Amino acid sequence: MDTLEARTALEQFAQHFDYDNGYIIQLLEDSPEAFQTFAAAQAMPNFHKVLPLDAFFVAKIAVMKTEDCGPCLNLSLKMGAEQGIDRDVLKAAVKDPHLLTQGLRDIHDHTVAVIRNENDDADRMERIRNHYGIEAFAELAVVIVGCRIYPTLKRAMGMADQCELAKLDF
């Protein structure tokens, strides 16, 4: 994809989700090669084959909430709603994780613990593996790592001021 195609795709994405991805466009403008390297990693936060869609979005939301990036959190909520995830599940993932089912709460809590660099909870990880399977647990790890790329890039590009509070307008 050339620079013009990439910019057009980014602008269409931003318009569709009412999301300010100016930090990614800035990366593209500043260094197309750096952008291509970043783009190669964009499959990570979107990969799920075995991990159920609701668990996938609970993890994404937990990452963005914990990373304290309101626009990224809103984007994940909008994407989840567009994919048919129950809005009550999305709201609970943000405001009341204790209302989630045990499986989803484990996904949420594990994700938050990873982001906060807390000690592993072997029992919780075992419950996740038993409930969703070992392959889904591996996918969860990739989603957690992959989602962090956006708020981290935004901050690294000196645009952390764009990380305002979440509006929860999904």
State both tokens at 85: 């995830």
In this prediction, residues 84-98 reach a mean pLDDT of: 96
pLDDT at residue number 159: 85
Q: What's the DSSP call for residue 67?
A: T
Question: Residue 163: is its pLDDT beyond 80?
Answer: no
In this prediction, residues 42-49 reach a mean pLDDT of: 92
Tell me, what amino acid is at 69? C
| Inter-residue contact 148 to 60 (CB < 8 Å) | no
| Inter-residue contact 114 to 67 (CB < 8 Å) | no
- Give the residue extent of every domain in the chain: 3-40, 45-150
Question: Residue 170: is its pLDDT beyond 70?
Answer: no
pLDDT at residue number 164: 57
pLDDT at residue number 2: 87
Question: Residue 102: is its pLDDT beyond 70?
Answer: yes
CA distance 159 to 161: 5
pLDDT at residue number 1: 72
Q: Is 42 helix (H, G, I), strand (E, B) or coil?
A: coil
Question: Residue 145: is its pLDDT beyond 80?
Answer: yes
Return the H-helix or E-strand segment holding 35: helix 32-40
For residues 125 and 2, the model is more confident at 125
pLDDT at residue number 45: 92
State both tokens at 150: 């956006």
